[in-house]
Amino acid sequence: MPGMSCSQAQKAAAVNNDTAIELFAELDGAPYPISEAHRIRTADCFDIFARVPTGGAPIDAYPAASDGFWLMLHSLAPGSHTLKFGGRYKHAAMDYGRMVQDIEYELLVR
């Protein structure tokens, strides 16, 4: 964000993923392998609002960075599917160390 260097933005984006534990993903109840190989970080910083029409004063959101675990799902059969994923973090700071994510999406494929 403004006033922050690119390296500071990248460090902030990585704070939880550096200490992620118990990561999981499931597709239709079956475990979907997830590992450090799924962690992707942006090499350079970017302005998250650069392509969004503002209709007024432009929003300066540089530098922004991304750091996360990403999965690519192969083609799914038509119908309803359930994707669940999440994990815990053991960061030393209380604000981050107690975070738990348990997310569920219903995907409708036509």
Across the range 87-108, mean pLDDT stands at 82
Residue type, 77: A
Across the range 78-105, mean pLDDT stands at 85
CA distance 16 to 45: 18
In the prediction, which pLDDT does 75 show? Answer: 92
The 3-state secondary structure of 34-91 reads: CCHHHEEECCCCECCCCCCCCCCCCCCCCCECCEEECCCCCCCCCEEEEEEEEEEECC
In the prediction, which pLDDT does 30 show? Answer: 96
Q: List residues bridging with 106 in a β-sheet.
A: 82
pLDDT higher than threshold 70 for residue 26: yes
pLDDT higher than threshold 90 for residue 25: yes
pTM (predicted TM-score): 0.75
CA distance 41 to 65: 8
More confident residue, 26 or 15: 26
Mean pLDDT value across the chain: 87
CA distance 98 to 110: 39
In the prediction, which pLDDT does 1 show? Answer: 53
In the prediction, which pLDDT does 35 show? Answer: 87
pLDDT higher than threshold 90 for residue 76: yes
